[in-house]
Amino acid sequence: MKDRQNIHGSWASRWVFIMAATGSAVGLGNIWKFPYIAGQNGGGAFVLVYLVCILAVGVPIMMAEVLVGRRGRQSPINSMREVAIEADHSPKWALVGWIGALAGFLIFSFYSVVAGWVLAYVAAMANGEFLEVGSEQAGKVFNDLLADPQALLIWHTVFVVLVMWILLGGVNKGLERATKIMMPALFVLLLLLLGYSMSSGAFGQGLDFLFHFDPSALSWHAVLVALGHSFFTLSLGMGSIMAYGSYMPKNASIGGTVLTIAALDTVVALVAGMAIFPIVFANSLDPGAGPGLMFITLPVAFGHMPGGQVFGFLFFVLVALAAWTSAISLMEPGVAWMVERLGLKRGPVCIMLGFVVWLMGIAALSSFNFGSGVSIFGMNIFDFLDFITANIFLPLGGLFIALFAGWVVTQRITRDELAMTTPGVYVAWSVMIRYIAPIAVAVIFIFNLIDKLG
Ligand code: PFF
Ligand code: NA
């Protein structure tokens, strides 16, 4: 078995890898985005397609990313190159890593803005600003925040600094240490909140909305959104998981580890949906309200429930932690690459890259105020960044990674890395990665395009 050393370090154990990758996966995508896009795309029908995408496309691609990372033992750009060369193919495959790193920056720039809203809400909840507030008033609080570039800038800046601070510490003293503190805290908070919402919510209608399958609610666009979201939520298609995989111990099994991560991510998304929709219906709010769903409906509910101030505060702390661990993983591929390429220390690299994403974030946050006039393909900057990353960059990145792992990387390498004890499982993975995942992505792309043109 071949094992290179990673200059950045490696996780202390398989469990640290699971926690770190789960930290990457579980984020705003689960708690903020999943409920609102499920709401906009018809609920149950969308959720079913999303689950199928996770299993048939997401899981095999996540395994591919981890195996390529662990084989290459470098940043995604350099691991792709290294593994391509080992398989006697062109080093140009590094381009996929480049596109991924770019996607990471684009995602970060709007992710940090939303994380900034979350931080603002942590403060607002602590101050009791939503006590006894109605939905109209809560909507006004949210819209006032969006209209205030200065407030947005402050919170966005705080978030960028928090993320860069952890990245600066490196794999062991930064990422690993943060993971070991934040992930247990995140799960304790989640359980606490679940118990709270079960004891005080009208579950039925919310559950029905999430799980009632109505095929007429489906469109090719909704299927594309479900596919894109399955990549976004699992942090796939851009190299985050590949980077984390490059720090994974050699003796850990990839298949079981990846299934655990995907399952945890899915559970968190469904729990978030089950917490939000009952409240939406109980207050006759609109499930298709969009990005404001979490920021308007939940504060109203918390404002009227016993203990709501405390639990509302804890809820937004939970979301902030989730966003933090994900944002760290968005930047790790770029940071690792610059350290390798320029031979710099993490400090200067984090300061430079932090400055770049900070500037990009300003463009994103201007969408709601001084830059609201800017329109790209009919979208503001924020929506455009969200749309092209989730629906184009990530699925395409995932498609290329699947083709790479399935057709370029030799079976000798993939068998060695996956080390499946049950032979059937390797065959199943290979069929998924060679045929099912690429064909599914291609078909969804093509039909969506036809649908748009027709
Ligand atoms: N998976 C994260 C979420 O669901 O919020 C977002 C994300 C992180 C996407 C890292 C992509 C990524 F590389
Ligand atoms: Na996620």
**Would you state the pLDDT for residue 184?**
94
Q: Which ligand 1 atom sits nearest the alpha carbon of residue 322?
A: 5
Ligand 1 is surrounded, with C-beta below 6 A, by 24-25, 27-30, 104, 107, 232-233, 235, 238, 240, 326, 329-330
**Would you state the pLDDT for residue 204?**
80
Residue 184, C-beta contacts closer than 8 angstroms, at least 6 positions apart? none
**Would you state the pLDDT for residue 5?**
85
Q: What is the pLDDT of residues 55-77, one digit of tens each?
A: 999 999 999 999 999 999 999 99
Q: What is the DSSP letter of 12?
A: S
SS3 state of residue 379: strand
d(CA 341, CA 206): 50
What are the residues facing 376 on neighbouring strands? 379
Q: Give the best-scoring range by mean pLDDT among 44-48, 72-76, 387-391.
A: 72-76
28 Cα to the center of ligand 1, angstroms:
8
d(CA 102, CA 92): 16
Nearest CA to ligand 1 atom 10: 235
What is Dmax (Cα atoms) for the chain?
66
pLDDT band at 166; cut points 50, 70, 90: very high
Nearest CA to ligand 1 atom 9: 235
Q: What's the whole-number mean pLDDT along residues 221-227?
A: 92
Query: What is the percentage of the chain residues whose pLDDT exceeds 70?
Result: 98
280 Cα to the center of ligand 1, angstroms:
25
270 Cα to the center of ligand 2, angstroms:
11
Residue of 37, 61, 106, 107 best suited for mutating to test ligand 1, as the one with most atoms within 8 Å of CB: 107
324 Cα to the center of ligand 2, angstroms:
12
Element (H, E) at 381: helix 381-388
The residue with tokens 């995408």 is 53
Q: What is the value of pTM for the model shown? A: 0.95
The answer to whether 101 touches 74, Cβ cutoff 8 Å, is no
pLDDT band at 200; cut points 50, 70, 90: low
Complex ipTM, two decimals? 0.99
Q: What's the whole-number mean pLDDT along residues 153-160?
A: 98
SS3 state of residue 286: coil
Q: What is the pLDDT of residues 396-407, one digit of tens each?
A: 999 999 999 999
**Would you state the pLDDT for residue 76?**
98
Q: Which ligand 1 atom sits nearest the alpha carbon of residue 323?
A: 5
pLDDT at 203 over 90: no
Q: Which ligand 1 atom sits nearest the alpha carbon of residue 232?
A: 9
Query: What is the percentage of the chain residues whose pLDDT exceeds 90?
Result: 76
Lowest mean pLDDT across 237-241, 258-262, 424-428:
424-428
More confident site: 190 or 226 = 226
pLDDT at 421 over 80: no
Nearest ligand by distance to the CA of 54 = 2
Distance from chain centroid for Cα 243: 15
Q: Which domains does the chain have, with CATH numbers?
A: 14-453 (1.20.1740)
